[in-house]
Amino acid sequence: MAALTELRRDGDVAVIVVDNPPVNALKHEVRVGLRDAFARANEDKSIAAIVLTCAGRTFIAGADITEFDKPPQSPGLSDLNADIEAIEKPMVAAIVGTALGGGLEITLACHFRIAAATARLGLPEIKLGLIPGAGGTQRLPRLVGLPKAMAMILSGDPIPAKDALALGLVDEVFEGDPAAAGVAFARRALAEKRPLKRVRDLGSKLEDVRAHPEKFNEIAAAHVKRARGLHAPAAALEALRWTLDVPMGEALDRERKAFMELRLGDQSEAQRHLFFAEREAAKVAGLSKDVKARDIRQVAVIGAGTMGGGISMNFANQGIPVTIVEAAEDALQRGLSVIEKNYQTSAARGALQQADVAKRMSLLKGTTDIAKAKDADLVIEAVFEDMAIKKDVFGKLDRIARSDAVLATNTSYLDVNEIARMTGRPQAVLGMHFFSPANVMRLLEIVRGAKTAPDVLATAVAVARRIGKVPVVVGVCHGFVGNRMLRARSIEAERLLLEGALPHEVDGALTEFGFPMGPFAMGDLAGLDVSWRMRKAQGSRAEIADALCERGRFGQKTKKGFYLYEEGSRVGRPDAEVEQLIVATSKRFGIARRPIDRKEIIERLIYPMINEGARILEEGVAQRSGDIDVIWIYGYGFPVWRGGPMFYADQTGLTHIRDRLAVLAKTSGDKRHEPAPLLSRLAAEGSTFSAASKKAA
Ligand code: T1G
């Protein structure tokens, strides 16, 4: 087997190359190879300088995350960093692609860092429920200052090479081959006798906060607010605070200890699960890698409403021209002005330049003539959620759209096959279900129709990635994966109200569990009339919610829903009128109200979702339990540190969930709560959803 590290000579400069595709992760073998290469290069008197770089498309993208479920093996990255810092020859890290996590940390132990213009550098550990564990929290602030280090470590987002140069994180930005650039830089450092400063010995960038420690709290305060329920952000802040007054050696040991505690914790396990589940979700069973996605150069969006506008922005943001078709001129102008307003809001926040706003708006062409969609490679229908209207649109699109166009519907629950049958080309039709606000929410539920062609599916997955979405491919059923499970939760939420709970108690339990908001606040935000219309179309009823709608209480848009909303406020407060309605409805149905505690509320909201998730897996509507987790985290605000509903079920134990559901089925008389066969089987076998999904793959 090819060595994963290699030591080459370029005259008196040693070039150490890591070659561990696809992302040069620092797996144990690589670390062993690096330790050996550093020792040989250091001991060899004929070597005057050392360059560390990588083969392939990226520099080291961090520790090997797959090793985190196993006991640590020596040497660790901290050992390698200590080796590097003991070397008294210029050590130059030459970065291409991404230097992330441990990949950036190893460069921080080097004397010099140079980066390709396209390179990105960051410490994304926080996204895995971790903190940098090999010196990142101590060395990065010494190079870029505490405020910037805090922003990089607490966001986990990488920065481009040009910003890294401006910050002093890298010493040079180069073009071309990294090894050659590294050797050239090393030679200049030797010729100019540049002092070999170790980052750990630097302190000038810390002086200001060391002199005014209160500044640390001010900077930290902004970050703490966003850390709801997460352990890692607080641990990262504490570690960063050690830069003020804890000796380096001691601080590195503490950082390592804090890192190991998080690594062994449930939250990081859940977030690591999500890391891999997100990448698995883009792999579609039966769709071979050779299926080529179609080239999408221009798009048409039918409907300039909230969804149509948000969807169009995704494409304009990537420089793709969009024709927006609306039935009436005033609705079109309204839609375009909402888009402009959204862009202006981003510009006001400094996230966009005015030139960007103008460029993006120039890519959006509005029309009331659907024939203008004839040149589009991809047409996305985002009209009112009504089957007849959607069928009419697809009938028209079938007549005017290019023969090789992909025709997508943004329906959030209607039958994609029925819509496809309105065309003579069902193979070109699929669902692309965006989530509101569509220009912000990262999830794209791609609904594969019975006749959807492989390259049409591959095109939708590729488009999703191109516009920065997380694609998950699902099958056709009512509500697909996300909304079907949401319905199970909504039904139970309404029951909890009838049996004794109040809206703020149910919402309080779910926000404590980690959701950004509960079912009733969410209903008020989305508009209670949306699901009311759907229930009426289906002939089903939600006693409380329907009664509120019959009173014209549609939520925030009418300042009244389950809650009351003051002018300009999005925070609802309990309303005695609603509570009276709930109590009266219980009485009308002869239900004796009782106190319901948070544990029961959570079980009754989450377990029926899990049960529906099991049915969805049985029916093959979702390929893997991880796909369901990705959908709920990126589309419905399921707390990332719980890993998603199916991962949470595995953590909680399927036997317990099966038994609680069986009790619920008996007490409620609702057959839907009877444990799904897959859940019962896995519980009986002592297995898990993720193990079953791996086995099925
Ligand atoms: N470990 C193991 N596998 C990894 C990996 C990693 N660090 N990074 C990527 N992969 C796999 C991934 O699962 C996929 O596998 C393939 O590589 C391609 O990835 C001590 C503790 C680098 C920006 O968090 O952000 O260092 O699906 O599809 O879109 O303080 O991968 O093909 O089988 O994502 O081009 C910190 C994680 C680790 C960076 C490339 N590092 N990686 O994106 O490809 S913790 C990270 C990424 C750490 C230290 C701590 C991205 C990428 P498969 P991909 P991509």
DSSP-derived letter for residue 118 is T
As a whole number, the mean pLDDT across the chain is 96
Using the mean position of ligand 1's atoms as its centre, give its distance from the Cα of residue 23 in Å.
Answer: 6
Using the mean position of ligand 1's atoms as its centre, give its distance from the Cα of residue 174 in Å.
Answer: 24
* Active site (catalytic) residues: 105, 125
Using the mean position of ligand 1's atoms as its centre, give its distance from the Cα of residue 22 in Å.
Answer: 9
Nearest protein CA to atom 13 of ligand 1, as residue:
276
Contact status, residue 429 vs residue 407, Cβ threshold 8 Å: yes
Using the mean position of ligand 1's atoms as its centre, give its distance from the Cα of residue 85 in Å.
Answer: 26
> Tokens 């839907």 correspond to what residue?
672
Q: Of the candidates 127, 90, 476, which has an alpha carbon nearest to the alpha carbon of residue 275?
A: 127
Using the mean position of ligand 1's atoms as its centre, give its distance from the Cα of residue 578 in Å.
Answer: 49
Q: What is the pLDDT of residues 138-176, one digit of tens each?
A: 999 999 999 999 999 999 999 999 999 999 999 999 999
Contact status, residue 484 vs residue 477, Cβ threshold 8 Å: yes
Amino acid at residue number 541: R
Reduced 3-state DSSP string for 484-548: HHHHHHHHHHHHHHHHCCCHHHHHHHHHHHCCCCCHHHHHHHHCHHHHHHHHHHHCCCCHHHHHH
Using the mean position of ligand 1's atoms as its centre, give its distance from the Cα of residue 124 in Å.
Answer: 10
Q: 136 is written with which tokens?
A: 């990142």
Nearest protein CA to atom 28 of ligand 1, as residue:
279
Residues with CB under 6 A from ligand 1: 22-23, 25, 58, 61-66, 77, 98, 100-102, 105, 124-125, 128, 130, 132-134, 136, 276, 279
- Which of the four pLDDT bands, split at 50, 70 and 90, describes residue 3? confident
- Phi/psi at 238 (nearest 5 deg)? -60, -45
Q: Is the dihedral of CA 233, 238, 244, 248 positive or negative?
A: negative
**Quick one: what percent of the chain has pLDDT higher than 70?**
99
Which numbered atom of ligand 1 lies nearest the CA of 57?
35
- Which of the four pLDDT bands, split at 50, 70 and 90, describes residue 474? very high
∠ CA 180-182-184, rounded to 5°? 70
Which numbered atom of ligand 1 lies nearest the CA of 275?
13
- Residue 534 or 655, more confident: 655
For the whole model, what pTM was predicted?
A: 0.95
Using the mean position of ligand 1's atoms as its centre, give its distance from the Cα of residue 63 in Å.
Answer: 9
Q: What is the pLDDT of residues 453-469, one digit of tens each?
A: 999 999 999 999 999 99
Q: Of the candidates 383, 594, 357, which has an alpha carbon nearest to the alpha carbon of residue 499?
A: 594
In a mutational test of the pocket of ligand 1, which residue from 20, 59, 65, 120 has the highest number of ligand atoms less than 8 Å from its CB? 65
Which numbered atom of ligand 1 lies nearest the CA of 276?
13
Q: 139 is written with which tokens?
A: 């060395």
In a mutational test of the pocket of ligand 1, which residue from 18, 23, 276 has the highest number of ligand atoms less than 8 Å from its CB? 23
pLDDT at 218: 86
- Phi/psi at 483 (nearest 5 deg)? -70, -30
Q: Is the pLDDT of residue 1 over 60?
A: no
Q: What is the pLDDT of residues 501-534, one digit of tens each?
A: 999 999 999 999 999 999 999 999 999 998 898 8
pLDDT at 157: 96
Which numbered atom of ligand 1 lies nearest the CA of 136?
30
Contact status, residue 96 vs residue 116, Cβ threshold 8 Å: yes
Describe the crossing of helices 543-550 and 482-499 by its angle, rounded to 10 degrees: 90
* Region of residue 319 (phi > 0: left; psi between -120 and 50: alpha; otherwise: beta): left
Which numbered atom of ligand 1 lies nearest the CA of 282?
27
Which numbered atom of ligand 1 lies nearest the CA of 279?
27
Using the mean position of ligand 1's atoms as its centre, give its distance from the Cα of residue 334 in Å.
Answer: 42
What one-character-per-residue DSSP string does 328-342 give?
SHHHHHHHHHHHHHH
Burial class (CB in 10 A: 0-12, 13-18, 19+), 189: buried
Nearest protein CA to atom 9 of ligand 1, as residue:
23
Q: What is the pLDDT of residues 611-647, one digit of tens each?
A: 999 999 999 999 999 999 999 999 999 999 999 999 9
Rounded Cα gap, residues 223 and 244, in angstroms:
18
pLDDT at 568: 87
Neighbours of 16 (CB within 10 A): 24
Contact status, residue 606 vs residue 651, Cβ threshold 8 Å: no
Nearest protein CA to atom 43 of ligand 1, as residue:
23
Q: Enumerate residues 6+ apart whose C-beta is below 8 A from 283.
A: none
pLDDT at 223: 74
Q: Enumerate residues 6+ apart whose C-beta is below 8 A from 84.
A: 38, 91, 106, 109, 110
Contact status, residue 376 vs residue 300, Cβ threshold 8 Å: yes
Contact status, residue 19 vs residue 6, Cβ threshold 8 Å: yes
Using the mean position of ligand 1's atoms as its centre, give its distance from the Cα of residue 271 in Å.
Answer: 13
Which numbered atom of ligand 1 lies nearest the CA of 58?
22
pLDDT at 217: 87
Longest dimension (CA), the chain: 92
Q: How many residues does the chain have?
A: 697
Nearest protein CA to atom 14 of ligand 1, as residue:
279
Mean pLDDT score, 482-490: 96
Q: What is the pLDDT of residues 171-202, one digit of tens each?
A: 999 999 999 999 999 999 999 999 999 999 99
Nearest protein CA to atom 52 of ligand 1, as residue:
61
pLDDT at 119: 98
Contact status, residue 359 vs residue 281, Cβ threshold 8 Å: no
pLDDT at 2: 62
